Chains A and B, each alone.
Chain A
Amino acid sequence: MGRVMLLLAAVGLLGGATAARPSPASHTRQPAPHTGATQSSQDEGTPVIIASKPFAESYVLAEIFAQLLEARGIAVDRRFGLGATEIAFGALREGAIDIYPEYTGTALAAILGEEMQANAEAVYRHVAGSFRERWDARWLAPLGFENTYAIAVRRETAEELGLATLSDLAREAGGLRAGFTPDFIGRSDGLPGLRAAYGFEAAEVMPLLQAVKYEALVESGVDVIDGYSTDGLIARYDLVVLEDDRGFFPPYEAAGLVNGDFWRRRPDAIAALSELSGLLDEERVREWNRRAESDGDPVAEIARDALAELGLVVSDAEEAVESDLPESAAARESERESATAAESARSPVVGFASYMWQNRADILGHARRHIVLVIVSLAAAALLAVPAGLMLVRVAGGAEGVIRAIGLVQTVPSLALLAFMIPALGIGVVPAVVALFLYSLFPILRNTYTGVRDANPAAVDAARALGMTPAQLLRHVRLPLAAPVIMAGLRTAAVINVGTATIAAFIGAGGLGDPIVAGLALSDTRMILSGAIPAAALALLVDGALGLAEKRVAPGGVAVE
């Protein structure tokens, strides 16, 4: 059942349509152990904005950054799960975030659009130099591990076909179905490059989200996937990683990528983050990823353990903090543990219900933010689109063209729209509201225009022929008769908005998309559902309420089915 839900959530994400999208982080946002330390003053007052991309390792690394800074007395603001490379890097370039974990190979291929056959150090130097020059963005020293693409197959497939290298795979590809992340399918260091370098042509290529691809492979839904070398799941499922025998994939060294202005402004934060340089290794990271993806451990806890293990945050400091904050992390942790134990004895439904209950404060917070996003964007759209619709009725001429043009906005995928807006609006609530506003315009405008234009033509004609002025016609005849149609447009827009607002999580605007995005990244079905179910309920609620409103605004004497 968990798998089905994951797939559903994944489909929703890809579809970009209504359903559920993002959300995260009840775990990740948990009060990080810390806070207590003395706040150093100066320009250190503003919190450091830390972001991650929407996959488990990125969450873990970002949380390690965050907790390390907090342990050094520096306040942080977490904006995890940003949509993808374009959105995360776009936000960094514009100064909307200060730092996020990135990989040199990704930077080289996906951001710089270059190819390079070289060792890790040379690639790091090249990338760091280019970023500094072109965008004034700085690479902190490498963290010490690489996370390259790991093209993986089931062990029995490898044995049956005798696969050990990517060249072997290319030879047998005609009989295999591939499941790759959309990211991999598109980027030059992904499928297109693989085709060019190895002549790899699979029988079929399905786009699969990170969160579902391992399951798809294990269940034989596909035969080959793009994993990451540090994925915890490769070992768990006993998969075979094929050797890149032609050295196609560039090195993907992990490091913090920071905004240039932040680099100059906050030497304190840079110094603290630099403590991590070279300390991580693949084995450690794989273990953390496994805990996040397979065990469902909270990211905050993994990061805390990691920092202790690395000797960067002393453990008695932790204890001190826990006693400082009896209500928060520590208390909830033990509550969660006992709940988890008890849960195994119970049905999954009861287990989920208790999960929802434990996280009710987070979920309510997400829901509240979600509702604010929807209401603000919808109100703004109505304020513009209703008068605009009325005006279009009067000008008649180009009305259809204008409405069709506005309708084009509907065809822009939401993630793309958000990415376009980063240069002007950065990330967070503002661009999310603007995007939702844009998506709301069309249904309201269209319904206002057609509702008023088509309002009972006989009645309008007679009223005009008996001496109503155009203004009187509008106010006393057309508008009242069109009211239910206009309200139906608002209702459509609102329901679309509730669904679409889940993508706000991809640009750090929060809402019920938060737990969905984080849950997808961490393969945590319960977390996904803790966002998806309230979002669906909210959509139903909004639909029902506005359906009633539709009947309400229908003038007496006019029936609404």
Chain B
Amino acid sequence: MTSGRDSPARNEREPSAHFDDLPAHFGEPALRAHEVVKRYGATIALDRVSLDVAQGSCVALVGESGSGKTTLLRCFNAMVRPDAGSVDVGGRPVASFDPVALRRGIGYVQQEGGLLPHWPVLRNVALVPWLRGEEDAEEPARAALDRVGLPPARFGDRWPRDLSGGQRQRVAIARALAGTPEIILLDEPFGALDAITRSELRRSFHNLRAGMGVTSLLVTHDLHEAVELADEIAVMKGGALMQVGRPEELLSAPAHGYVEELLKRAGIG
């Protein structure tokens, strides 16, 4: 059951370039999207979107469902390929990376957690180190579990289905952090949880991030969450970016009627 056993075989098309080897020039923005367009048939999911995420900061993408938040997020780990525009990670075009190597270097958490149901918790968390062929993949996994408040001795051998929703999301966050990425992408990571669990988890994530200095891009439809966690908030609507700014900037000077309305609806400002 350990992540260390049977490491991925060579013949499984081991990506040649390791992400960790590449992004030396994490100079300015860790993530940059420039005039990105993405269409699905007749629908425009991203309409010339440009966004910078500074190294070590947290940006929240907010907006209703279908506003393009998730599509934009997934451009950064090559899960979505834009039709036009450029997407850079660490100053290098995403298209120039081996997508598999890139993904192993970027943390990812989704709303449903996406834990592998047939792997025990520890093996799930050790996924990325194991994929990279690290010798003791369980060690960083244990450390990551500790960091999210789930002692590996108690939780490591459990099946995901035996955990509560909140615990599962913690495991998913631990899994995203176990590879010690410089960047982490979170897609509604707390969206499926009850209010109490949610605020608890938010707090621990906030502390974690502060401690690790990892660059984060967070998709959420909850403005409160965005205000609490993010350095900057990017408001999206219908595939377009309405405004980007620090929470207080948004509150004091909404650049768009929609932003104002959104704030009002959320009871903020």
State whether the Cβ of B38 lies closer than 8 Å to any Cβ in chain A. no
Cβ < 8 Å to A, chain B residues 87-103: 100-103
State whether the Cβ of B118 lies closer than 8 Å to any Cβ in chain A. yes
Q: How far does the Cβ of B55 sit from chain A's closest Cβ, in whole Å?
A: 21
With contact pairs A466-B131, A471-B13, A477-B116 given, residues A458 and B104 touching in the complex (Cβ less than 8 Å): no
For the A-B complex, the count of residue pairs with Cβ-Cβ distances under 8 Å equals: 88
Q: How far does the Cβ of A382 sit from chain B's closest Cβ, in whole Å?
A: 22
Q: Report chain B residues within 8 Å CB of A466.
A: 103-104, 108, 127-128, 131, 175-176, 179
Q: Report chain A residues within 8 Å CB of B108.
A: 462, 465-466
- If over half of A's interface residues share one DSSP class (helix, strand or loop), that class is named, otherwise mixed; here it is helix
In the complex, A58 Cα to B250 Cα: how many Å? 95
B140-169 vs A, CB cutoff 8 Å, 1 = contact: the mask equals 000000000000000000011100000000
Q: How far does the Cβ of A547 sit from chain B's closest Cβ, in whole Å?
A: 20
Stretch of A173-181, A212-220, A384-392, A553-561 contacting B (4+ beta carbons < 8 Å): A553-561
State whether the Cβ of B215 lies closer than 8 Å to any Cβ in chain A. no
Q: How far does the Cβ of A212 sit from chain B's closest Cβ, in whole Å?
A: 53
In the complex, A465 Cα to B77 Cα: how many Å? 7
How many B residues touch the partner, as a band? Answer: 35 or more
With contact pairs A465-B103, A480-B118 given, residues A557 and B175 touching in the complex (Cβ less than 8 Å): no
Q: Report chain A residues within 8 Å CB of B128.
A: 466-467
* Chain A residue at minimum C-beta to C-beta distance from B116: A459
Q: Report chain B residues within 8 Å CB of A467.
A: 15, 100-105, 128, 131
A458: contacting residue among B8, B105, B110, B118, CB under 8 A: B110
A463: contacting residue among B14, B105, B116, B160, CB under 8 A: B116
Q: How far does the Cβ of B216 sit from chain A's closest Cβ, in whole Å?
A: 15
State whether the Cβ of B112 lies closer than 8 Å to any Cβ in chain A. yes
A454-475 vs B, CB cutoff 8 Å, 1 = contact: the mask equals 0010110111111111111001
With contact pairs A462-B172, A465-B110, A467-B128 given, residues A472 and B117 touching in the complex (Cβ less than 8 Å): no
* Chain B residue at minimum C-beta to C-beta distance from A555: B118
- If over half of B's interface residues share one DSSP class (helix, strand or loop), that class is named, otherwise mixed; here it is loop
Query: Of residues A464, A466, A557, which shows the largest number of chain B Cβ atoms within 10 Å of its Cβ?
Result: A466
State whether the Cβ of A481 lies closer than 8 Å to any Cβ in chain B. yes
Q: How far does the Cβ of B117 sit from chain A's closest Cβ, in whole Å?
A: 5
Are A463 and B127 in touch, CB under 8 angstroms? yes
State whether the Cβ of B120 lies closer than 8 Å to any Cβ in chain A. yes
Are B115 and A475 in touch, CB under 8 angstroms? no
Q: How far does the Cβ of A527 sit from chain B's closest Cβ, in whole Å?
A: 50
Cβ < 8 Å to A, chain B residues 113-143: 113-120, 127-128, 131
Q: How far does the Cβ of B16 sit from chain A's closest Cβ, in whole Å?
A: 12
Q: Report chain A residues within 8 Å CB of B22.
A: none
In the complex, A97 Cα to B143 Cα: how many Å? 75
How many A residues touch the partner, as a band? Answer: 20 to 34
In the complex, A103 Cα to B11 Cα: how many Å? 66
Q: How far does the Cβ of B184 sit from chain A's closest Cβ, in whole Å?
A: 11
State whether the Cβ of B21 lies closer than 8 Å to any Cβ in chain A. no
Are A462 and B12 in touch, CB under 8 angstroms? no
Q: How far does the Cβ of A556 sit from chain B's closest Cβ, in whole Å?
A: 6
Q: How far does the Cβ of A463 sit from chain B's closest Cβ, in whole Å?
A: 6
In the complex, A530 Cα to B127 Cα: how many Å? 57
State whether the Cβ of B255 lies closer than 8 Å to any Cβ in chain A. no
* Chain B residue at minimum C-beta to C-beta distance from A483: B118
Are A462 and B110 in touch, CB under 8 angstroms? yes
State whether the Cβ of B17 lies closer than 8 Å to any Cβ in chain A. no
State whether the Cβ of B212 lies closer than 8 Å to any Cβ in chain A. no
Query: Of residues A459, A476, A556, A557, which shows the largest number of chain B Cβ atoms within 10 Å of its Cβ?
Result: A557
* Chain B residue at minimum C-beta to C-beta distance from A456: B117
* Chain B residue at minimum C-beta to C-beta distance from A467: B104
* Chain A residue at minimum C-beta to C-beta distance from B79: A465
With contact pairs A462-B172, A465-B103 given, residues A557 and B110 touching in the complex (Cβ less than 8 Å): no
In the complex, A466 Cα to B175 Cα: how many Å? 9
Q: How far does the Cβ of A484 sit from chain B's closest Cβ, in whole Å?
A: 11
With contact pairs A472-B12, A557-B159, A559-B161 given, residues A481 and B117 touching in the complex (Cβ less than 8 Å): yes
Are B100 and A459 in touch, CB under 8 angstroms? no
Are B116 and A469 in touch, CB under 8 angstroms? no
Q: Report chain A residues within 8 Å CB of B172.
A: 462
Are B118 and A557 in touch, CB under 8 angstroms? yes
In the complex, A458 Cα to B105 Cα: how many Å? 20
Cβ < 8 Å to A, chain B residues 2-31: 8, 11-15
Cβ < 8 Å to A, chain B residues 164-219: 172, 175-176, 179, 185
In the complex, A471 Cα to B13 Cα: how many Å? 8
A469: contacting residue among B79, B100, B117, CB under 8 A: B100
Are B15 and A469 in touch, CB under 8 angstroms? yes
Are B120 and A469 in touch, CB under 8 angstroms? no
Are A472 and B112 in touch, CB under 8 angstroms? no
Q: How far does the Cβ of B170 sit from chain A's closest Cβ, in whole Å?
A: 15
In the complex, A10 Cα to B161 Cα: how many Å? 50
Are A461 and B15 in touch, CB under 8 angstroms? no
In the complex, A469 Cα to B10 Cα: how many Å? 11
Query: Of residues A468, A481, A559, which shows the largest number of chain B Cβ atoms within 10 Å of its Cβ?
Result: A468
Q: Report chain B residues within 8 Å CB of A459.
A: 114-117
B113: contacting residue among A462, A468, A469, A555, CB under 8 A: A462
A475-503 vs B, CB cutoff 8 Å, 1 = contact: the mask equals 11100110000000000000000000000
In the complex, A142 Cα to B194 Cα: how many Å? 90
With contact pairs A463-B114, A469-B100 given, residues A557 and B131 touching in the complex (Cβ less than 8 Å): no
Q: Report chain A residues within 8 Å CB of B131.
A: 466-468, 472
Q: Report chain B residues within 8 Å CB of A472.
A: 8, 12, 131
Q: How far does the Cβ of B46 sit from chain A's closest Cβ, in whole Å?
A: 18
Q: Report chain B residues within 8 Å CB of A461.
A: 79, 110, 114
Q: Report chain B residues within 8 Å CB of A555.
A: 117-118
Q: Report chain A residues within 8 Å CB of B160.
A: 557
Q: How far does the Cβ of A93 sit from chain B's closest Cβ, in whole Å?
A: 52
Q: Report chain B residues within 8 Å CB of A558.
A: 117-118, 161
Are B118 and A481 in touch, CB under 8 angstroms? yes
Cβ < 8 Å to B, chain A residues 245-286: none
Q: How far does the Cβ of B18 sit from chain A's closest Cβ, in whole Å?
A: 11
Query: Of residues A462, A463, A475, which shows the largest number of chain B Cβ atoms within 10 Å of its Cβ?
Result: A462
Given contact pairs A461-B110, A467-B104, A555-B118, a sample of 11 additional A-B residue pairs in the complex whose CB atoms are under 8 Å apart = A458-B112, A461-B114, A464-B103, A466-B176, A466-B179, A467-B15, A467-B102, A469-B12, A469-B15, A469-B100, A470-B13
Would you list 13 pairs from A and B whose C-beta atoms are within 8 A, ordered by A residue? A458-B112, A458-B113, A459-B115, A459-B116, A462-B110, A465-B185, A466-B127, A467-B104, A469-B14, A555-B118, A557-B159, A557-B160, A558-B117
Q: Which 6 A-B pairs have the closest CB atoms?
A: A462-B114, A467-B104, A555-B118, A557-B159, A458-B112, A467-B103
Give residues in A with beta carbon < 8 Å to B: 456, 458-459, 461-472, 475-477, 480-481, 555-559
